[in-house]
Amino acid sequence: MPESRWRLLVTSPLDGATNMALDEAILQARIHEIAPPTLRFFSWDPPTISLGYGQRLDAINVEACRQFSVGLVRRPTGGSAIYHDTLEREVTYSVVARGGDFDGSGDLLETYRWIGAGLTAGLRRLGVPAEMVPVKPSDPSAMPTFCFARTGSYEVEVGGKKLVGSAQRRQGGAFLQHGSVLLGADVARLCLLFPQEGDPLAGMTTLEEALGRRPTFDEVIEALAAGLRETHGLDLRPGDLTRDEESLMDRLIREKYATEAWTLNAQTVADVSSIAASSP
């Protein structure tokens, strides 16, 4: 029978390297079955651009990042760049699970659908008329720099505009999916950070636009957790990181996510993601 007991983590605002290292540490712990399937909600300090795993840096205005003290990190997942604002304007989520943790968890599209259904239910609890977009083929040659300008399989939209941008990595029979829910948007800053994109809001929307008000971070994560809990019958219980996860997170920060080799060129440090080194 699929696992119904999940760990719920709500972490304080963290920098980009720590957020990505934490997500990967949770993934490795789930691969080795030393931590439960996990739903995490988090935010960013400072505001940060996260690049997709294989994305080139030249489409980002790096000078504007320096000017506005915007961090830069490369995700372990694919897709295009996302500007992660502070908790006043964004809720970021991650889901980590193994094959068998829920029906369909071994299939890429089914996991997108499963998570999207829970997120959609949560957004509707807030009064947002959200819906999932059916599978659409993508054209890699036409992929824009800014993630919210793309539409993919089982994306969450309002009125034909993307509200949630998500990306996934699968490894060792498990997966990590993380994504962003925009509470609001700093349009002027987006235009400076992504100068090649024209109007960055052309195909996207925010909760502020959809509701006529901007909900709080806590309000949104409560609704999203409830949506996933009720849609899938999850036993979501607040938890903490294990010592193994904390140890691997610290190592991943030092040797991977905080290094220029990784951020600028996606060069991987051998064996840095192995949790075995920190396990008793």
Catalytic residue positions, numbered: 147
C-beta neighbour count of 199 within 10 angstroms: 11
Closest CA to 92 of 203, 171, 189, 10: 10
Q: How far apart are CA 159 and CA 83, in angstroms?
A: 22
Q: How far apart are CA 82 and CA 50, in angstroms?
A: 5
Closest CA to 92 of 101, 82, 81, 102: 82
Phi, psi of 215 (to 5 degrees): -70, 160
Q: In what order do the strands lie in the sheet with 71-74?
A: 71-74, 48-51, 82-84
Q: Which residue blocks in the chain are alpha helix, DSSP H?
A: 16-31, 62-67, 108-125, 187-193, 207-211, 217-232, 243-252, 260-265
SS3 (DSSP) at 219: helix
- Give Dmax (Cα) for the chain: 52
Helix (H) or strand (E) holding 94: strand 90-98
Q: Dihedral of CA 24/28/30/35: which sign?
A: negative
